[in-house]
Structure 1
Amino acid sequence: MDVSVILPEECISHIISNTSPRDACRSSMVSPHFKSAADSDYVWESFLPTDYQQIISNLVSPSSSLSSLSKKDLYLHLCHNPILINNGTMSFSLEKESGKKCYMVGARGLTVVWGETPAYWIWPSLPESRFSEVCELNYVWWLNVKGTIDTKILSPNTTYAVYFVFSSAKSNHGLQTRPIELSVHFEGSEGPQRRRVFLNPPEDMPRLTPDRGDGWSEIDMGGFFNENGDDGTVVSTLFDFDQFNIKRGFIVEGIEFRPRNG
């Protein structure tokens, strides 16, 4: 028996809205009646974050085209096209499978020690970056880059991974001879766990910087569980305090927070 003949479209939409974006897409192939229900704004509004309108209102360049999209098209747009918010210092997107929030804090939103000293860091614009400026390491002994994010803007009950997003400049030094330290922890917590990795591993070591497919590489800095989305701050740091090892030649795009898969 064809349930689409028995149930009105509104009932089918309500049922599908309690599944997942993937299930909704599959349901749309069952029949024309199911497609109409599965593609409805009612269904896809339920997959968007409850505060998506507030987030979009913080766009650097407000776009009327977003407001004209159907809720399904808006969802898919946010999955594939990160939008710039917070005066261009942060980007927002959605994880396609779940609809959970992803944020990247761009270089201008990070705390970069000596970042405003041209002898140590410069701020070029690169066409492959989503941000108007990135941060290129020119010359330092002590390396300290920190990003923070408020947990209340993230998806609750979600395990997040934190990624340092960067690329290597044509000329680099000190990135193969000594690992840098990474840490991710809640502000105020004691004894953050630290990882030691090479930004540019020697040839006899496996590479820990997979290509993202967008011209940048990333390193997994660690992760955390955002239980209820309560007020709190997560601190992510990349540092090396060896004053005898000169470092130069990598470009920081940002630090990304996105749901961990698997």
Structure 2
Amino acid sequence: MGLRFSSPPPESPSTSALAELPESCVAQIMTYMDPPQICQLATLNRAFRAASSADFVWESKLPPNYPALLRRIFADFPSHLGKRGIYARLCRLNSFDHGTKKVWLDRSLGKLCMCVSAKGLSITGIDDRRYWNHIPTEESRFGSVAYLQQIWWFEVDGELEFPFPAGKYSLFFRLHLGRASKRFGRRVCNTEHVHGWDIKPVRFQLWTSDGQYVASQCFLDGPGKWIYYHAGDFVVENGNASTKVKFSMTQIDCTHTKGGLCLDSVLVYPSEFRKVKAFLSYS
């Protein structure tokens, strides 16, 4: 997910005038552009390429609390990287907490996103293979998902403590009814164990360390496809301090069993992404 700069093409008469612009002027203009636009301009000529490397250009794209992010994500971050290098490194899928979490910056907007694997969550009954199994899959960033065959008491809890940049965030559970696999190179979905999710809704809850709370509920449907279920939003005021977020997903009506569910991960995205990323607009 890093940023790449290709070699500039040979200059033509139509672009030679651009080369006469002062490098400092070009760099100032770039501070008003999105990172992909900066990378495109960097291919025009040597002056634009040099301007695109200016630290103050990329510092304007980094989250204000990026030093706190580096300390939290990396055990030993290289000190020789300039601001462009720091931005490119943060745009990768960076794993931490023993590989159970990944964090990255959206390349276009520079906004922080986070993903917590099923192995990073507390799942009731996860150690009993009569109920749950971790199955490998290419459809997860983490290479595996938790698959529920059948259970009476369904409860998933999680907790995050992280220096989120100031802003509003939305939390989602990425779920899939049925077990997907490959057969003769084609994706197929086994829905044999899917049951119980249309009887009572699943309840989502979210709490933060500064007293925010939200709860919602909905039925799970749409077998055969991954769906992002919106659990709630929270607001971060101070990006230099860690925010603790607790969340849960439950269906604890023991009058019936439920099963056939794949739990991939919990995702935290800036709330503004719900307007520009269609896959987040399901619920």
TM-score range, shorter chain: 0.7 to 0.9
Alignment match, 1:47: 61
Select which of 210, 216, 229 maps to 1:195: 216
Q: Which consecutive residues of structure 2, in runs of 5 or more, have no partner in the other structure?
A: 1-16, 180-189, 276-283
Percentage identity across paired residues of the two chains: 26
Alignment match, 2:202: 180
Select which of 128, 133, 138 maps to 1:127: 138
Query: CA RMSD of the aligned region, Å?
Result: 3.4
- Total equivalences in the alignment: 240
Q: Is 1:82 paired with 2:93?
A: yes
User: Structure 2 matches for 1:86-97, cutoff 5 A?
Assistant: 86-97=97-108
| Aligned mates of 2:236, 2:89 — CA distance in 1 | 25
Runs of 4+ in 1 over 6 A off after TM superposition: 66-71
Q: Which consecutive residues of structure 1, in runs of 5 or more, have no partner in the other structure?
A: 203-208
Check the 8 A contact 2:116/2:265 in 1, yes or no: yes
What is the TM-score normalised by the length of structure 2? 0.70
Give 1:236 shift.
1.5
Check the 8 A contact 2:214/2:233 in 1, yes or no: no
1:119-145: CA deviation from partner (whole Å, max 9, x where unpaired) = 121111112211143211121111111
1:10-47: CA deviation from partner (whole Å, max 9, x where unpaired) = 45425534664366357658876335413556533542
The change in CA–CA distance for 1:136 and 1:188 in structure 2 (over 3 A counts) is: farther
What is the TM-score normalised by the length of structure 1? 0.75
1:197-241: CA deviation from partner (whole Å, max 9, x where unpaired) = 112169xxxxxx9x6xxxx32111111111113333111211111
| Aligned mates of 1:124, 1:118 — CA distance in 2 | 11
Letter of the 1:37 partner, please give it.
A
Select which of 247, 266, 272 maps to 1:236: 247
Between Structure 1 and Structure 2, whose CA radius of gyration is higher? 2
Q: Is 1:57 paired with 2:74?
A: yes
Secondary structure of the residue aligned to 1:118 is coil
Letter of the 2:197 partner, please give it.
L
